[in-house]
Amino acid sequence: MTAAIEVRDLCYTYPDGTEALRHISFRAETGLRVGLIGPNGAGKSTLLHHLNGLLPESRRGSASVLIDGEPIDRSNILDVRRRVGLLFQDPGDQLFCPTVGEDVAFGPEQMGLADGEVRRRVRNALEHVGLSGFESREPHHLSAGEKRRVCLAGVLACDPSILLLDEPSSSLDPRGRRELLSLLRQTPLTQIIASHDLEMMVELCQQVVVMDKGQIVAHGPTLELLSDEPLMLRHGLERPHILQHRHPHD
């Protein structure tokens, strides 16, 4: 079966010489939610930025990232960015219009859709994230949780098939976090979720990928990997509290 995402031996060095990704290979099957965990600086954000073509590859020749079986290249990059929605870690990097409605409409407008279709998508996306009627609100006056959901609405309005989320629960209070979790659970797309929130991984992700120093050090079922205390400790992570008394095969 064709994977939603396939990465083959991806290496990336930033222009200043920082080697951020070393020989990354993995597949994410369609419809799965896959967690991406690892200490700060492991390369999680850099990897997400490669999955929707935001960052170029340092290698020439055979392409290293395939979306729905299709290698990302210059000819399909705009289409890939639409199909693979990226939610940035900081909503401030994503929200730049005076109103929520304009922000959510930005993507669909860039796609050249008719006004009526843009309005329909904005309405549906805001409804999906629980923010119906927020069109004329100012993004910078919203709560952290609401901002995050406006960003998600903007991505969903482009009708992607894959969602990449960079630390989506950071800076949210418990209620905002809970609302986001249930929203992601109700969003039936392939999702790659980079996070330090290991309890969120347990609740949302069927699989996790563990990264450290630009490499993938493990990829497997969430409960199995997160219950592996030596693995977690080796890579600067902790076994989540909710797993303290749980056996991986319960």
Ligand X SMILES: Nc1ncnc2c1ncn2[C@@H]1O[C@H](COP(=O)(O)OP(=O)(O)O)[C@@H](O)[C@H]1O
- The residues of the shown chain that bind Mg ion, judged by CB under 5 A, are 44-45
Regarding 108 and contact with ligand X (CB under 6 A), the answer is no
* Position 236 contacts ligand X (CB under 6 A): no
Sequence-separated (6 or more) residues with CB below 8 Å from residue 28: 3, 4, 5, 6, 34, 190, 192, 207
Q: Which is nearer to Mg ion, 44 or 50 (CB)?
A: 44
Contact call for residue 18 and ligand X (CB under 6 A):
yes
For Mg ion, the closer CB: 45 or 52: 45
Contact region for ligand X (CB under 6 A) — 12-20, 129-137, 173-181, 218-226? 12-20
Collect all residues with Cβ–Cβ distance below 8 Å to 191 and sequence separation of at least 6: 32, 33, 34, 162, 163, 164, 165, 184, 204
Contact between 35 and ligand X (CB under 6 A)?
no
Q: Is 14 in the site for ligand X (CB under 6 A)?
A: yes
CA distances from 24 to 50, 153, 154, 219, 249 (A): 11, 30, 29, 12, 28
- Residue 45 touching ligand X (CB under 6 A): yes
Q: How far is CA 139 from CA 90, 131, 178, 250, in A?
A: 13, 12, 21, 43
Stretch that binds ligand X, among 15-23, 147-155, 174-182, 230-238 (CB under 6 A): 15-23
Assess 16 for contact with ligand X (CB under 6 A): yes
Nearest 5°: phi and psi at 213?
50, 45
Among 33, 44, 81, 149, binds ligand X (CB under 6 A): 44
Q: Which residue in 5, 24, 34, 42 binds ligand X (CB under 6 A)?
A: 42
CB 59 → ligand X: shortest distance, Å? 17
> In the complex, which residue's CB is closest to Mg ion?
45
52 contacts ligand X (rule: CB under 6 A): no
Handedness of CA 157, 90, 169, 227 (dihedral sign): positive
Q: Which stretch binds ligand X (CB under 6 A): 33-41, 70-78, 222-230, 233-241?
A: 33-41
